[in-house]
Structure 1
């Protein structure tokens, strides 16, 4: 019998939308904690929202349920880096600015 903590992940991987919704609700606080450690404070909510959307779209591609926590960490880390890069670009002044 499958361990209860992996049941929702497996169901979500198999396309069960209710399981995916419950999984995302259950893991949202963890995603937020991860984002607080990886993002600037202003980017935390955006990183979490984008990460949730990515998880929703790609959960079926997850190879094993045991990989789920690490996969989440990678998604959040990439989203934080992307947001930081976008913010940094917006803060730079063009070379020809006078």
Structure 2
């Protein structure tokens, strides 16, 4: 599993005024998660470190985000790296916009 690709999210932080980088890499049980504050194992939905990092940055979480991240985990082995990165890019945009609008990334 060490050769599993890493996927990145760039999420706007109202605290810094910049987009922060978040990395996810699939593991057998979930993800290895990393950003500039936290690094470690998280479950398929990103708990707890991903959400802790969003809260620390004052980023509001869209509803059902955990379901979408779990769904991405389920699809890693059936989609190629580019398709997977596109999912993470859409989620990044959705999270970045969630403070302004309430939208569904799949609509």
- The TM tier, using the shorter chain, reads 0.3 to 0.5
- Please say which structure displays the higher CA radius of gyration: 1
More helix by share: 1
Q: TM-score, normalised by structure 2?
A: 0.35
